[in-house]
Structure 1
Amino acid sequence: MPGATPHIIVFANEKGGTGKSTTAVHVAIALAAKGARVACLDLDHRQRTVGRYLDNRAETVKRTGAELPMPAHATHTSQSEDGFQDLWGRLSEGTDYLVVDTPGRDDQFARTAATLSNTLVTPINDSFVDFDLIGQVDPETYQVKRPSFYSELIWDVRKQRARADGTTIDWVVLRNRLQHIEARNMRRVSDALGQLSKRVGFRLIPGLGERVIYREMFPAGLTMIDSKAFGSMGLAHVAARQELREMMAALQLPDPVATEPAIPGVAA
C-alpha cells in the first residue's frame, strides 16, 4: 500500500499519437476518485497536454461548482536537473501516487523518470508502425526478429534500478485504440506482441479504444469517471467506462488508501 514514498507511474513512449496523455489523465483521476492522494507531473513543456487537461478541469470546477476529484499537478519547464529534482520532490511529498507524462520524443528527464518509476506504461496503437518502436518483425512471416532500440533502453533502465535499490520496474505495454472488429492485422500484431513480451519482459494489457468521446472531453477537462457531469450517458460512454475499468484492473497498481467511497463503475 502506498505510504510516505509514492508509487511512481510513468507513461513513456518516444512516439507521439498513442493516447499517452489521455490515458495518464484517466489513470490519475480514477485513482483520485478512490480517495488516493494523486499528483501529476507533465514533462512535455511543449505540448503540455496533461497540464492543459487538468487546467481545463480546474476551470470546470470553478465555473460549475461541480465536485470533481482533482489531482495536484505541475508542468516541468526548467532545463536544469536541480529544477527537475525540486519539482519532483514537491509533487511527491504527501502523495500516494505520482503520475508522470513524458514527451513523445527522446528526452533526458523522461529517461530519469523511467528510471525512478515503479510502474512504467508504454501505450502503443494497434499497428506495426507503433510496434516498430519496441520490436522488428519479418515482413513475410511477421515473426519477431529482434527487440528495437526502445526495448533495449527500457531493459537497461530496469537493470539500473535493480542494481540501485533492488526494485523491479513493472513494464506494461498498453494497447490503445484497439479496433472493435477482428482483423488479420490485429491478430498479427497481437501475436508479435506476445512473442516480444516473453523476450524482453513486459506485461501486455488492453487500453482505451478509439472513441470520439475522449477528444470531446478535453476542453472541459472531464474523464469517463465524471458520469454526473454528462447527464444521460449513451452506449459510447458505457463502453468507454468499461474499458477504463478493465484497464485499471489490469495495471495491478497497489491499492490506494480509501478515504472516500469508490466511484460507481470504477474498479476498486
Structure 2
Amino acid sequence: MAHIIVVGNEKGGAGKSTVSMHVATALARMGHKIGTLDLDLRQKTLGRYIANRQTYLARTGLDLPTPEYHELPDIAADQLAPGQNKQDVALGRVIETMHDVCDFILVDCPGSHTRLSQLAHAMSDTLITPLNDSFVDFDLLAHVDGEGEEIIGPSVYSEMVWNARQMRSEAGMSPIDWVVVRNRLGTTAMINKEKMQRAIKKLAKRIGFRPAPGFSERVVFRELFPRGLTLLDLRDIGVTSLSMSNLAARQELRELIKALDLPGVKPDF
C-alpha cells in the first residue's frame, strides 16, 4: 500500500504547492514511484506546476524524473449509492487506483476548509503543514496572548486535524505523523523569530506535532515555477555553478526530507 502524504493547512500563501512539488520531485529522483493529486479544484497550482514541467521537458527534449499527476474522476449520478457524496467517491476511487502502482501518494490541499481536504487529512499517513514564520499564520494552529508567549488554546485547523486523528483511530488505522514546517525563516535572529520558536515548541508538545525547518524566502522558487523545475533540476538544465543561495536551498530541502522520516527514504541528493 502506498504511503499517503498530505500537504495542508487552511491559509493560502504558506508555500504548500512549492513544498509539495519539491518533496514529490525529490522522491521521484530517488527512484520512488509517486503520484500526486491537487484538491484545490479552482486554482490547481500543483497541477499547473507539473503541467509546466511536462511542457518544458517536451520542448527541450530533456528527461527528468517527474511525479505522476492524477485528476479526480467524474462520478456520474447513477454510480452513486443512496447517501453517497460525489466528492467522497471520486477521492476514494482515485486514491484506490494510485495505491496499487505508487510507493507514495502526495495530496496538495487548498488553503481553505473543504470536504475534500477534511477527508484527505483523515487518509494521511504523514501530514505536512507549511507555516510562514509569523504569528498571523501561527493563529491557524493556536491562539496566543498579546505578548505571543502563552498559548490560550488550539485554533480551527488544529481541531480539524484532531478530528481526522479521531476518524483514523476509530477505523483502526495508524496515527497521523504531523509535521509542521516553518517556512520563510529570516536569516537574522529577531525577537519575533525567537518568540515563534518558543511558541511552536510549546504547541508541539501540547497538540502532538513535530516541528521541522522549511524553506527560506528565495526568489529562485518563483523563477522555477513557469518551467516546472525544482532546485534539484538546476544542474540537469545546464547550471554548472550553483549560487550560495541555491546551494543553501538544496540543503534546506535535504533537511526537510530527512525530517519527514518517510519509510524507505534516504535523502541521497
Q: TM-score, normalised by structure 2?
A: 0.91
8 A contact 1:124–1:175 mirrored in 2: yes
Describe the shift of the 1:86–1:129 C-alpha distance in structure 2 as closer, same or farther (beyond 3 A): same
Would you say 1:235 and 2:241 are equivalent positions? no
CA distance in 1, matches of 2:87, 2:4: 21
The superposition leaves residues 116-169 of structure 1 with CA deviations (integer Å, 9 ceiling, x where unpaired) of 110011110000000000011110362111111211221121122122124111
2:247 alignment partner AA: V
The superposition leaves residues 180-216 of structure 1 with CA deviations (integer Å, 9 ceiling, x where unpaired) of 1110000001101111111100000001111000010
1:240 alignment partner AA: A
Equivalent of residue 62 in structure 1, options 58, 65, 69: 58
Name the SS for the 2:187 alignment partner. Answer: coil
1:26 aligned partner: 22
1:76 aligned partner: 72
Equivalent of residue 251 in structure 1, options 257, 260, 263: 260
2:134 aligned partner: 127
Deviation at 1:44, TM superposition (A): 0.6
8 A contact 1:44–1:75 mirrored in 2: no
Range that drifts further, 225-234 or 36-45? 225-234
CA distance in 2, matches of 1:209, 1:66: 29
8 A contact 1:8–1:116 mirrored in 2: yes
2:39 aligned partner: 43
CA distance in 2, matches of 1:23, 1:267: 18
The superposition leaves residues 198-243 of structure 1 with CA deviations (integer Å, 9 ceiling, x where unpaired) of 1100000001111000010001000011132251321121111011
8 A contact 1:120–1:172 mirrored in 2: yes
Give the fraction of aligned pairs with identical amino acids, expressed as a percent. Answer: 44
Would you say 1:153 and 2:166 are equivalent positions? no
Name the SS for the 1:47 alignment partner. Answer: coil
Q: TM-score, normalised by structure 1?
A: 0.91
CA distance in 2, matches of 1:53, 1:92: 23
CA distance in 1, matches of 2:93, 2:177: 25
Alignment of 1:187-266 (within 5 A): 187-226=194-233, 227-232=235-240, 233-256=242-265, 266=267
CA distance in 2, matches of 1:201, 1:29: 28
Would you say 1:173 and 2:169 are equivalent positions? no
CA distance in 2, matches of 1:141, 1:98: 36
8 A contact 2:204–2:210 mirrored in 1: yes
CA distance in 2, matches of 1:192, 1:186: 10
CA distance in 1, matches of 2:43, 2:59: 25
1:11 aligned partner: 7
CA distance in 1, matches of 2:238, 2:222: 14
Structure 2 gaps, min length 5: 75-85
CA distance in 1, matches of 2:71, 2:187: 35
CA distance in 2, matches of 1:163, 1:15: 28
CA distance in 1, matches of 2:33, 2:63: 16
Name the SS for the 2:105 alignment partner. Answer: strand
1:259 aligned partner: none
1:254 alignment partner AA: P
| C-alpha RMSD of matched pairs (Å) | 1.5
8 A contact 1:44–1:76 mirrored in 2: no
2:83 aligned partner: none
Name the SS for the 2:231 alignment partner. Answer: coil
